[in-house]
Amino acid sequence: MSLVPELLNDSLADTHVMAFEELLNDPVIQKYLHELVGPTGMPVAAAPPDGEVTDEELAEELGLELNDVRRALFILYENDLASYRRLRDEDSGWLTYLWTFEYETIPEQLESEMRRLLEALEQRKQYENDNEFYLCGHCQIRFEFGEAMEFGFECPQCGSQLETMDNNRLVDAMEMRIEELSDELNVSREEVVDA
């Protein structure tokens, strides 16, 4: 999942002191929830009730299909944003799940997501710098040097001659994104490389 750095400016620090209701009004938090549960699950994520609620109650209250509500709840659960407890009806034996929303950790989760993105960008930039690439201009398939050499510098799809690929623009774009994320997280480049 990628997050737009412009949206995260100052929002991450501000969300640490926000009340629960204020979290849901933050556009960064809304985008994060939307990316997790998608448009179908967004009504569930955006309107958490106070206390415990069943999936059936949520579906009825929001006018959604029960399966859509359950899917959104499970995604929130997988991301530590919801928890549940089970109750068994003694007469029927049916299980009822009572859900509780736990959005207090969203700021920390966003920061963790940004750190993972930063580390992945650093690794990808290193890969781009450490390798020489060749491109088929016709098929737009990219090959590492070793692969290109195996194919005799000819595209295995169309037979066209492979050309040396200049990936400097890609590396520069990664470098800019790494700088932005490092600034937002207030970490030095050395901290990212050592992580």
Closest CA to 103 of 41, 47, 35, 184: 47
- Could you tell me the two tokens for 177? 């994104």
Query: What span, in angstroms and rounded, lies between the C-alpha atoms of 110 and 28?
Result: 9
Mean pLDDT of 116-132: 94
Query: What span, in angstroms and rounded, lies between the C-alpha atoms of 25 and 5?
Result: 18
Mean pLDDT of 151-170: 94
For 115-131, b where at least 16 C-beta lie within 10 A, e where not — what string? bebbeebbeebeeeeee
Mean pLDDT of 3-14: 42
Domain boundaries, the chain: 5-103, 131-194
Least confident of 68-72, 99-103, 129-133, 155-159: 99-103
pLDDT of residue 102: 85
% of the chain residues with pLDDT over 90: 53
Ramachandran category for residue 180: left, alpha or beta (phi over 0 → left; psi -120 to 50 → alpha)? alpha
Multiple choice CATH, 5-103, 3.10.110.10, 3.40.225.10, 1.10.3720.10, 1.10.10.10: 1.10.10.10
Mean pLDDT of 72-80: 93
% of the chain residues with pLDDT over 70: 84
Helix then strand then coil, in percent of the chain rounded to 5, is 60, 15, 25
Query: What span, in angstroms and rounded, lies between the C-alpha atoms of 143 and 163?
Result: 10
Query: What span, in angstroms and rounded, lies between the C-alpha atoms of 69 and 82?
Result: 13
Closest CA to 71 of 32, 49, 103, 99: 99
Mean pLDDT of 68-96: 92
Confidence of residue 147 (pLDDT cuts 50, 70, 90): very high
- Spatial neighbors of 43 by CB under 8 A, at least 6 apart, are 62, 64
Asked if pLDDT for residue 18 goes beyond 60, the answer is no
pLDDT of residue 157: 92
Confidence of residue 169 (pLDDT cuts 50, 70, 90): very high
- Spatial neighbors of 139 by CB under 8 A, at least 6 apart, are 155, 157, 158, 160
Alpha carbon 93 to chain centroid, angstroms: 38
Confidence of residue 33 (pLDDT cuts 50, 70, 90): confident
